[in-house]
Every structure is written in structure tokens, then in C-alpha cells.
Amino acid sequence: MSSSTTKARDVAIIHVGTTDDTLTVDLSDGRSVSAPLGWYPRLAHATEVERRDWRLIAGGSGIHWPQLDEDISVQSLLDGRPSTESDRSLQKWLAKRTP
């Protein structure tokens, strides 16, 4: 079984982009990593404006969306790990978004 030898400390996120179904992150080592937006339910339920409002955190080792209270680390992207938010937590968050 192979595993990634790249650790989060070796690369930084330099740009973040989304489409209706994909999160794409450009890294300082020249790679781009994409993941299904469905892996991150808060991003999947967000508006385009909310998705564009992101900030790099921890020296580029993570992304924060302040309007969504969502954080994704470069390591979780490199490892192919989706969100671990529980359905109950997501439902509470969604209920707050609905007037």
C-alpha cells in the first residue's frame, strides 16, 4: 500500500477555487488538488459569494471560510479526507441559515 510522503509542512495553499461540484486548491509545490464539493457539506450548501470568501490560515496550511465557519487543512486534502461533521451538526447549521 502506498501513502503520500508529502506532509502539510512541506507545502502551502496559494489559491482556492470552487465550481458547483468541485473544490480545487493550488499548492506552493506546483500541484493542484481537487475534491468533490459534496465532501464538504457547508461548501456544497453555500452560495458562490460565500465560497469566494476564504482566508488562508496557519501560514497557508489551511483554509477558513468565515461566513460558513468551515476549515479545511492541506493535510486533509492531501490525505483525501472528507469533512467529519456529523449530520446533526450540519442540520443545526442549515436550520440557522433558513429564515
In a domain, 39, yes or no: yes
Tell me: pLDDT of 3 over 60. Answer: no
pLDDT band, residue 10 (cuts 50/70/90): confident
Residue 94 lies in a domain: no
Whole-model pTM: value is: 0.87
Domain that holds residue 16: 12-81
The residues, ordered by sequence, that sit 6+ positions from 93 with a Cβ below 8 Å of its Cβ are 42, 69
Domain assignment present for 24: yes
29 falls within a domain: yes
For 45-96, the pLDDT digits (tens) are 999 999 999 999 999 999 999 999 999 999 999 999 999 999 999 999 999 9
Confirm if 60 and 47 have CB atoms less than 8 A apart: no
Mean pLDDT of 27-39: 97
Domain presence at residue 45:
yes
Instruction: Establish if 76 belongs to a structural domain.
Output: yes
Residue 57 lies in a domain: yes
CATH code, domain carrying 21: 3.30.2020.40
| Least confident window among 4-13, 18-27, 68-77 | 4-13
Does the pLDDT of residue 7 top 70, yes or no? no
Confirm whether 51 is domain-assigned: yes
Tally of domains within the chain:
1
